């Protein structure tokens, strides 16, 4: 009879999963023993980094990623990264080893007490099988749950003595299962929405990350061009769903109630596609929308539809809806919006680089299909203004605002997209959350480029201190960190850039050497 161990690996194999992202502990060793030659193991040195790498891989590959963590301690370390994955709708199968079944009741060391509650509410499903024989079925369910719309993480706790037990003899039926979700569009409602957009006097489109995840970018371009409508990107966007040099592009919506209301004033119909309504951040009280403005959102997530504070909502497949709307709306007989003016170069002295200069140089030198990851949070607006992001999958950001995402996610994205250059732009404060991801990049020769914007401070917090009128706040400066030394210690080539030409040379060298490179750039702080 087949063991739980062999049955589970065969199940993963049949589902197209051949990579395990992990950091093992003793509870996980029985799962990893006799590791199959047709699988690969990607080791990271801390569990949040494991989840960050897997998150980037899942988003970029559009396939579920399999994670193996160490019991409660490893899961706890991973929770911050898991919050980003939950908000990104990333399909992650998170497994964790549990104490042997005979020892769970006495809560022996390394018992995951109340294992299923630990990762909630950041997973779609959390489970610990009632018996060893049930493990393959639970694993099959986890894979399909993670992959079904809306995609998202799931969690499975497995006692370590289960792996050598016999699997249910009926487990072979799991091998051939395929689960798909097909949301049939209501033709009447579809036509009503298309007609409303066609006949609106001044419609506006707000796009979110699920458009990029569904690769519906081109359909949204068609939709905007037929309607001659301006396009905003939803607040705090973790992906880029629309080309940033298109005439319709208007930029990134702010994350405040009054600010959004002001920018959308004058539009009689707001279509929100593939984004929550809205992901607010700073307290900015006001009307959600001005009187006379109707909002309709299309989301793949019923929870997003239910919690929206205004407007109508349609739960449907984002790709199918974007394609159907682009085909159904009438074409307006008017010009496209006037394109935003191109940002002008800034004056640069011989000192620390202004962030605008860094982004201008990246925009000039990076390949057309480059992928950018952003965790320089104080310069996010500048990044959206100055980078020409034109292809699907060109931009990733921490969806829940949890720092420590960009460095490991860059490793995962580069693994999934080996033919595109990945460039992660990371602040000096946030870089320290997951610095050990550099080791994984070095060990597996993953040629991502890490640009560290070193201004010696938590720039975003300094901005918030001004907004909140919080004076004399401690802990906002982070001086004295040598990122080149840290990178070299992990085995990553490191370059320091003190000016425009030095950065130009460093970028050219990094893009030519086909190995991971960290570039430390001395930059000015906020308002300088």
**Cα Rg, the chain, nearest whole Å:** 24
Which of 26, 189, 466, 509 is an active site residue?
26
Question: In the prediction, which pLDDT does 372 show?
Answer: 98
If residue 273 lies in a helix (H) or strand (E), which one and from where to where?
Answer: strand 269-273
Contact in structure between 83 and 123 (CB atoms under 8 Å) = no
The residue among 167, 148, 99 whose CA lies nearest residue 128 is 99
Which whole-number Å values give the CA distances from 128 to 17, 97, 112, 427, 462, in the listed order?
21, 10, 10, 39, 44
Which of 5, 10, 22, 25 is an active site residue?
25
Domain limits, the chain: 4-176, 187-328, 355-522
Catalytic site residue 401?
yes
- 187-328 has the same fold as 4-176: yes
Q: Give the 3-state secondary structure of 113-151.
A: CCCCCCCCCCCCCEECCCCHHHHHHHHHHHHHHHHCCCC
Give the three-class secondary structure for 67: strand
The class that CATH gives domain 4-176 is: alpha beta
Helix pair 135-147, 4-14: axis angle to 10 deg: 20
- Its pTM stands at 0.94
DSSP states along 443-456: HTT---EEEEEE-S
The residue among 486, 504, 497 whose CA lies nearest residue 520 is 497
Positive or negative: CA dihedral 58, 63, 69, 71: positive
Give the three-class secondary structure for 340: coil
Number of helices (H) and strands (E), helices first, in the chain?
Answer: 20, 18
Catalytic site residue 47?
yes
Say how far residue 368 (Cα) sits from the centre of its chain.
21
Catalytic site residue 281?
yes
Catalytic site residue 10?
no
Helical ranges in 330-379 per DSSP H = 355-365
Q: Does domain 187-328 match CATH 3.40.50.1220?
A: yes
Residue 245, C-beta contacts closer than 8 angstroms, at least 6 positions apart: 339, 388, 390
Question: In the prediction, which pLDDT does 238 show?
Answer: 96
Catalytic site residue 144?
no
As a dihedral over the C-alpha atoms of residue 237, residue 241, residue 246, residue 248, rounded to 10 degrees, the angle is -70
Which of 5, 10, 22, 47 is an active site residue?
47
The class that CATH gives domain 355-522 is: alpha beta
Which of 70, 137, 246, 267 is an active site residue?
70
Which of 173, 281, 286, 509 is an active site residue?
281
Mark the ranges of the chain whose per-residue pLDDT is less than 70: 182-185, 456-479, 526-528
Name 270's bridge partners.
Answer: 204, 295
Pairing of strands 269-273, 249-252: unpaired
Catalytic site residue 176?
no
Question: In the prediction, which pLDDT does 104 show?
Answer: 87
Which of 28, 134, 356, 520 is an active site residue?
28
Catalytic site residue 368?
no
**DSSP for residue 527:** T
Q: Using CB atoms within 10 A of its CB, is residue 452 exposed (0-12), middle (13-18) or buried (19+)?
A: buried
Which of 401, 456, 499, 525 is an active site residue?
401
Q: Give the 3-state secondary structure of 221-253.
A: HHHHHHHCCCEEECCCCCECCCCCCCCCEEEEC
The residue among 356, 381, 363, 380 whose CA lies nearest residue 528 is 356
In the chain, what is the straight-line distance between the N-terminal and C-terminal CA atoms, in Å?
69
Which whole-number Å values give the CA distances from 197 to 213, 260, 263, in the listed order?
24, 20, 19
Helix pair 500-512, 355-365: axis angle to 10 deg: 40
């Amino acid at each position: 009879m087949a063991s739980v161990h062999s049955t589970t690996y065969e199940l993963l194999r049949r589902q197209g999963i051949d990579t395990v992202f992990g950091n093992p502990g003793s509870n996980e060793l029985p799962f990893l023993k006799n590791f199959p030659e047709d699988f690969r193991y990607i080791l990271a040195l801390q569990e949040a980094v494991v989840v960050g790498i897997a998150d980037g891989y899942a988003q970029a590959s559009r396939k579920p990623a399999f994670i193996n963590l160490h019991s409660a301690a490893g899961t706890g370390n991973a929770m911050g990264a898991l919050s980003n994955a939950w908000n990104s709708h990333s399909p992650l199968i998170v497994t964790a080893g549990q104490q042997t079944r005979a020892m769970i009741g006495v809560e022996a060391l390394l018992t995951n007490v109340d294992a299923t509650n630990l990762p909630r509410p950041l997973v779609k499903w959390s489970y610990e099988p009632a018996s060893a024989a049930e493990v393959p079925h639970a694993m099959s369910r986890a894979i399909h749950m993670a992959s079904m719309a809306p995609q998202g993480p799931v969690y499975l706790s497995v006692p370590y003595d289960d792996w050598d037990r016999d699997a249910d003899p009926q487990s072979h039926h799991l091998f051939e299962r395929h689960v798909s979700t097909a949301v049939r569009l209501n033709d009447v409602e579809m036509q009503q929405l298309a007609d409303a957009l066609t006949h609106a006097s001044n419609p506006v489109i707000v796009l979110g990350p699920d458009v990029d995840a569904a690769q519906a970018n081109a359909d949204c371009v068609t939709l905007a061009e037929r309607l001659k409508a301006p396009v905003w990107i939803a607040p705090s966007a973790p992906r880029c769903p629309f080309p940033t040099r298109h005439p319709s592009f208007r930029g990134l919506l702010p994350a405040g109630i009054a600010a959004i209301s002001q920018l959308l004033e004058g539009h009689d119909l707001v279509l929100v596609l593939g984004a929550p309504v809205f992901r607010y951040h700073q307290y900015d009280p006001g009307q959600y929308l001005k009187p006379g403005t109707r909002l309709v959102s299309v989301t793949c997530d019923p929870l997003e539809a239910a919690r929206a504070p205004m407007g109508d909502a349609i739960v449907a497949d984002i790709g199918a809806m974007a394609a159907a709307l682009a085909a159904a709306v009438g074409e307006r007989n008017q010009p496209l919006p006037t394109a935003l003016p191109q940002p002008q170069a800034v004056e640069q002295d011989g000192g620390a680089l202004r962030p605008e200069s860094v982004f201008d140089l990246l925009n000039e030198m990076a390949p057309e299909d480059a992928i950018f990851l952003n965790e320089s949070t104080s310069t996010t607006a500048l990044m959206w203004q100055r980078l020409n992001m034109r292809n699907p999958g060109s931009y990733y950001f921490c969806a829940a605002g949890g720092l420590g995402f960009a460095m490991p996610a860059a490793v995962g994205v580069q693994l999934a997209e080996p033919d595109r250059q990945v460039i992660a732009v990371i602040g000096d404060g946030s870089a320290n959350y997951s610095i050990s991801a550099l080791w994984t990049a070095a060990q597996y020769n993953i040629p991502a480029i890490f640009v560290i914007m070193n201004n010696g401070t938590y720039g975003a917090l300094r901005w918030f201190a001004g907004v909140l009128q919080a004076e004399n706040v401690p802990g906002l400066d982070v001086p004295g960190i040598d990122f080149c030394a840290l990178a070299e210690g992990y085995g990553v080539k490191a370059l320091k850039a003190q000016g425009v030409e030095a950065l130009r040379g460093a970028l050219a060298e990094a893009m030519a050497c086909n190995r991971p490179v960290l570039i430390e750039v001395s930059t000015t702080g906020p308002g300088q």
